[in-house]
Amino acid sequence: MDLFSDRMKPLLQVENLNVSFQTRKGRVYAVNGVSFQLYPGEILGIVGESGSGKSVTCYSLMGLIPNPPGRIDSGSALFEETDLLQCSSRVLRKIRGHHISMIFQDPMTSLNPYMRIGPQLIEPLRIHLKTPRQEAQQQAIRALNSVGIPEASLRLRQFPHELSGGMRQRVMMAMALITEPELLIADEPTTALDVTVQAQILELIRHRKEKTGASVLLITHDLGVVAEVCDRVVVMYAGRILETGSTRDIFKSPRHPYTSALQRSLPGRHRKGELLKTIPGMPPDLLEPLCGCPFADRCDYRVPECSEIDGELILESSDCGTACPRVHRGEISLNEVKQGGDSSL
């Protein structure tokens, strides 16, 4: 789907990002040569298992990688003419919380437990837009209402611990969206929540995008969440992008053995009680720079060549690509993932 790329300039363009961390055992190469674009008004999902580098990618955009031990080795991230990786911390502070906001997995640890909801909520307005306090209060009430929190004026006087988990995550969202940022980065926003509350938050993200046209970068490990809200998907593994494409394509006809294996291992795709198709082995150790395809050891379609290729993403159209040269050349056809019918809830 070239829905976005034809008409628009990307809002965020990440090129060849490399991030590593110094540890006691040596340097860990957490993100290797990651490039992607995010267009205005789209929800881009970054999926991957733990340790795949999805969070590190987004933290480096926000300047949240602690240095030391972390280090951004190379790359650029253009957000409306500004390179987020090169700009001074003063410029970054102006962008963060105003043009780009972030919500985190655990709303309890990202809200200040000593502050009432009200002052926390209007902080970005007061700092970035210098909104007078009275007016900011009014906006805060509107923001809480828009994320579905009833009795907003009462909530403003409460402390975070007085709210439930879903309520806290909604406060976080209200806070992140109060300055109407062009880009919202959501790092596993629903992982700590119950399914019914998760459905509400996802609904909110989708609704927000439709209403304001803001872009969302959604980091998650849950393929179900991706299918639910994302327009496009980036699949990460061992610090690299293995596949990118529209959500529909990724689920219907995956273009990388890892993506297809991952989907085949979901219980919903099997007959009841049947043994699940598993991916043998473990993700590679990132302590050494990888050579070859990072998934080669666990791949069903491995050939000797796989340990020599550079493992880079081959773009097949402007926003669809695979890192598997064999799929690209049409040497292997990944079985279409069986859809629908009994396999779904």
Q: Which residues bind another protein (CB under 8 A)?
A: 49-50, 148, 164-167, 194-200, 202-203, 221-228, 247-248, 251-252, 261-263, 265-268, 270, 272-273, 275-279, 282, 339-340, 343-345
Which of 42/228 has CB closer to another protein?
Answer: 228
Smallest distance from the beta carbon of 297 to another protein, in angstroms?
A: 13
Closer by beta carbon to another protein, 14 or else 149? 149
The neighbour count for residue 199, using CB atoms within 10 Å, is 13
Q: Which residue has the tokens 């190379």?
A: 74
Of 62 and 223, the one with the shorter C-beta distance to another protein is 223
Closest separation in Å from C-beta 135 to another protein? 29
Residue 218 β-bridge partners: 45, 186
Residue 100, both tokens: 């780009």
Residue 137 or 247: the one with the smaller Cβ distance to another protein is: 247
Residue 30, class by beta-carbon neighbours within 10 Å (0-12 exposed, 13-18 middle, 19+ buried)?
buried
Name the minimum Å distance from CB 75 to another protein.
26
Which pair of structure tokens corresponds to residue 148? Answer: 């579905």
CB of 133 to another protein, least distance (A): 30
The answer to whether the CB of 26 falls within 8 A of the CB of 198 is: no
343 vs 263: CA distance, rounded Å: 12
Nearer to another protein, 98 or 277 (CB): 277
Residue 150 CB, shortest distance to another protein, in Å, is 9
Question: How far, in Å, CA of 18 to CA of 27, rounded?
Answer: 12
Distance CA 301, CA 243 (A): 16
DSSP3 helix / strand / coil % (the chain, rounded to 5)? 35, 25, 40
Torsions phi, psi for 186 (to 5 deg): -115, 115
58 within 8 A of 46, measured Cβ to Cβ: yes
d(CA 316, CA 328): 8
Cβ distance to another protein smaller for residue 22 or 164: 164
Q: Among residues 202 and 216, whose Cβ is nearest to another protein?
A: 202
Least distance (Å) between residue 300 CB and another protein? 13
- In whole angstroms, give the CA distance from residue 334 to residue 196: 34
How far is the C-alpha of 316 from the C-alpha of 323, rounded, in Å? Answer: 10
To another protein, the closest distance from the beta carbon of 149 in angstroms equals 11
Burial class (CB in 10 A: 0-12, 13-18, 19+), 343: middle
Instruction: Give the C-alpha separation, 284 to 266, whole Å.
Output: 21
Nearer to another protein by Cβ, of 34 and 229: the residue is 229
Across the strands, what pairs with 225?
none
Strand, coil or helix: 84: coil
To another protein, the closest distance from the beta carbon of 134 in angstroms equals: 30
Q: How far is the CB of 63 from another protein (least distance, A)?
A: 28
Which CB, 113 or 267, lies closer to another protein? Answer: 267
